[in-house]
């Protein structure tokens, strides 16, 4: 078999690289997590990734107009990260950035052949982004670059190639060993203990995801001026218990807070009038949404609206 412009050695090297990228059944992914969603714990300082962050990061990437580099150990930053050779070879190139709401910011990556071999052999396991953070609210707004490393700054960062990515042909003991490692359990931990710990972790993740989504819904309602500060607690409860009912309420809820005005100065008469109007609006709103009765009484709902209006 002949290959134009390629020697037999070149072809053998390419085949070896592809084979190495699938060692132990673990295939190197081209879609990888760059930053998880929510409050991100990092040794360089915690920061936040939310809908605004995702929009700003993707916009910054598109405006830059070129592929974003993935290097080794942050060598493109120079200074203390400079390699002895002075070079900063690319491990891969980010071709696209997109957000998966509630999960994180992901990238489509074209890996270089040497990196495919290293990742397949698990010589490198993690990504570490160089994050640009807005000081005022600690939100991620852009990415400078991303590095391959074995000591990521982000806590609990998932590995690029996970032993559990492909379970075909994997033994039960192999699966238990992988779970013990992921859950940071002792190597001699009993099977039942591993399964219980895994179940608890899944429950924790589900609760964290639900709570994060509920906070986002309530914050958006307040941003639109459709929810007062006094109503936040019951709104958060509703958003967690029945997100669909909350979305239906939000779709029909009137604007009750003047946008851009946090502490408007009002006279007593105007305050009284506003309180009465808020009570009528809250009462009509409560009666239009029967599901609210499972969370609070009509009197409490109206009283909360009046307190905020005053």
Would you say residue 34 lies in a domain?
Answer: yes
Give the pLDDT band (50/70/90) at residue 181: confident
- 3-class DSSP state of 141: strand
Look at residues 166, 158, 160 and name the one whose alpha carbon lies nearest to residue 26: 166
Given a cut of 60, whether residue 22 has pLDDT beyond it is no
What pLDDT is stored for residue 269 in this prediction?
A: 52
Split into its structural domains, the chain has a count of 2
Statement to judge: residues 138 and 32 lie in one domain: yes
Statement to judge: residues 18 and 164 lie in one domain: yes
Give the pLDDT band (50/70/90) at residue 168: very low
Would you say residue 177 lies in a domain?
Answer: no
Q: Higher confidence at residue 137 or residue 176?
A: 137
Would you say residue 191 lies in a domain?
Answer: no
Q: How far apart are CA 256 and CA 259, in angstroms?
A: 9
Statement to judge: residues 252 and 295 lie in one domain: yes
What pLDDT is stored for residue 258 in this prediction?
A: 63
Q: How far is CA 87 from CA 77, 94, 118, 182, in A?
A: 11, 19, 18, 34
Statement to judge: residues 146 and 41 lie in one domain: yes
Token pair listed for 177: 């060993």
Would you say residue 33 lies in a domain?
Answer: yes
Average pLDDT score over residue span 122-127: 87
Token pair listed for 133: 């953070």
pLDDT tens column, 37-56: 999 998 888 999 999 999 99
What pLDDT is stored for residue 19 in this prediction?
A: 43
Statement to judge: residues 112 and 15 lie in one domain: yes
Statement to judge: residues 127 and 261 lie in one domain: no
Statement to judge: residues 157 and 274 lie in one domain: no
Statement to judge: residues 16 and 133 lie in one domain: yes
Would you say residue 182 lies in a domain?
Answer: no
Among 170, 192, 220, give the residue marking a domain's end. Answer: 170
**Which neighbouring-strand residues pair with 110?**
93
pLDDT tens column, 217-275: 888 888 888 888 888 888 888 988 888 898 888 888 888 766 544 444 444 455 565 66
What pLDDT is stored for residue 143 in this prediction?
A: 92
Would you say residue 272 lies in a domain?
Answer: yes
Let me know how long the chain is: 310
Whether pTM exceeds 0.85: no
Give the pLDDT band (50/70/90) at residue 167: very low
Would you say residue 101 lies in a domain?
Answer: yes
How big is the chain by its Cα radius of gyration, in Å? 26
Would you say residue 300 lies in a domain?
Answer: yes
- Mean pLDDT over all residues of the chain? 78
What domain range includes position 81? 8-170
Average pLDDT score over residue span 77-86: 80
pLDDT tens column, 182-215: 788 888 888 888 888 888 888 887 787 788 888 8
Statement to judge: residues 12 and 133 lie in one domain: yes
Q: What percent of the chain has pLDDT over 70?
A: 74
Statement to judge: residues 55 and 159 lie in one domain: yes
Average pLDDT score over residue span 131-135: 92
pLDDT tens column, 83-119: 777 788 888 999 999 998 888 999 999 999 888 888 8
Lowest mean pLDDT among 136-140, 261-265, 278-282: 261-265
What pLDDT is stored for residue 110 in this prediction?
A: 92
């Amino acid at each position: 078999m002949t290959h134009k412009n390629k020697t037999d050695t070149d072809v053998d090297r390419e085949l070896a690289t592809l084979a190495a990228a699938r060692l132990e059944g673990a295939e190197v992914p081209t879609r990888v997590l760059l930053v998880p969603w929510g409050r991100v714990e990092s040794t360089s300082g915690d920061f936040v990734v939310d809908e605004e962050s995702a929009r700003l990061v993707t916009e910054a990437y598109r405006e830059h107009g070129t592929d974003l580099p993935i290097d080794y150990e942050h060598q493109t930053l120079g200074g203390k990260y400079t390699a002895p050779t002075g070079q900063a070879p690319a491990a891969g190139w980010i071709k696209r950035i997109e957000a998966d709401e509630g999960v994180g910011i992901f990238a489509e990556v074209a890996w270089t052949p040497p990196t495919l071999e290293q990742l397949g052999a698990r010589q490198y396991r993690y990504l570490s982004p160089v994050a640009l953070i807005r000081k005022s609210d600690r939100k991620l707004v852009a990415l400078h670059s991303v590095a391959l490393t074995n000591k990521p700054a982000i806590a609990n960062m998932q590995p690029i190639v996970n032993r559990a990515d492909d379970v075909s042909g994997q033994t039960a003991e192999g699966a238990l060993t992988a779970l013990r490692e992921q859950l940071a359990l002792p190597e001699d931990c009993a099977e039942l203990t591993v399964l219980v710990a895994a179940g608890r972790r899944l429950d924790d993740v589900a609760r964290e995801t639900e709570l994060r989504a509920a906070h986002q819904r309530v914050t958006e309602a307040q941003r639109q001026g459709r929810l007062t500060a006094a109503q936040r607690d019951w709104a958060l409860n509703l958003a967690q218990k029945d997100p669909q009912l909350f979305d239906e309420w939000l779709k029909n809820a009137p604007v009750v807070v003047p946008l851009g005005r946090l502490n408007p100065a009002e006279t007593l008469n105007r305050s009284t009038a506003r309180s009465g109007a808020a009570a009528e609006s809250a009462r009509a709103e409560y009666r239009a949404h029967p599901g609210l009765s499972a969370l609070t009484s009509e009197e409490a709902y109206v009283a909360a609206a009046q307190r905020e209006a005053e």
